[in-house]
Amino acid sequence: MFAVQPLAGRLRTKLCASLAAVTVGAGLVTAALSGAAPADAATVVRGMDVSGYQGNVAWATAYNNGARFAYVKATEGTSYTNPYFSQQYGGSYNAGMIRGAYHFAHPDSSSGTTQADYFISHGGGWSADGKTLPPALDIEYNPSGATCYGLSQASMVSWIKAFSNEMHARTNKYPMIYTTYDWWSTCTGNSSAFAATNPFWIAIYRSTPPTSLPAGTATWTMWQNADSGIFPGDQDQFNGSYTQLQALATNHD
């Protein structure tokens, strides 16, 4: 995920099993796992995420190359909006992809509630149309200061909870949480406070899927596995079938 616009920093890092059963509910994909499966298993849907760094994206080409979903950066803090958001968000939709918007958090600059409201006002809304993924919170290493933005673990959990609750109150959908296990462990104390409500999008750049997950989380929902590849921007996978991806984009919480 590129976060290279003002205040932004590029992500520092970006199926161990096959799905035996998947239930989509409350905006969360949970799975019962059985046996080992490669990342190329039929229960994986491939996609991408982009920001203003990519500019105008050739969405039809990405779709023809196999991308079926896309996350698009909308906002950062309360002072930045992606100037290419319309082309990227609308273009991916028009190409036939399921798309969603994400917000790059700055917990040191304003409250979680304030940033959620800013995000919603600038592209971070959600509708149960089967084509819109849960709005996503990009919460990760501080690009220009203290790793945890000067917050204690408890204060960070409270900040994320405020953002998540405001998103749910206004959209009836809990946000996807994008993070790395290292940051989550360091800055939230590996909190389990979101395991029952929020899907997790785990970033780790390697050829095998994530095995270290936020406490209480059964499995990853999205995996960012590389910062370049066949699609523009970062390379991502959804842990499930295309039908399950559509359900995630359809069901209210």
Q: What is the SS3 assignment for the chain?
A: CCCCCCCCCCCCCCCCCCEEEEEEECCEEEEEECCCCCCCCCCEEEEEEECHHHCCCCHHHHHHCCCCEEEEEEEECCCEECCCHHHHHHHHHHCCCEEEEEEECCCCCCCHHHHHHHHHHCCCCCCCCCCECCCEEECCCCCCCCCCCCCCHHHHHHHHHHHHHHHHHHHCCCCEEEECHHHHHHHHCCCCCCCCCCCEEEECCCCCCCCCCCCCCCCCCEEEEECCCCCCCEEEEEECCHHHHHHHCCCCC
Q: Which fold has domain 19-248?
A: TIM Barrel (3.20.20)
- What's the pLDDT at 158? 98
Active-site residue flag, 166: no
- What's the pLDDT at 129? 96
- Catalytically annotated residue among 140, 166, 234, 236: 140
- What's the pLDDT at 32? 26
Mean pLDDT split into 10-residue runs, the chain, 253 residues: 37 31 34 33 86 98 98 97 98 98 97 98 97 98 94 98 98 98 98 98 96 96 98 98 97 93
Whole-prediction pTM? 0.85
- What's the pLDDT at 1? 55
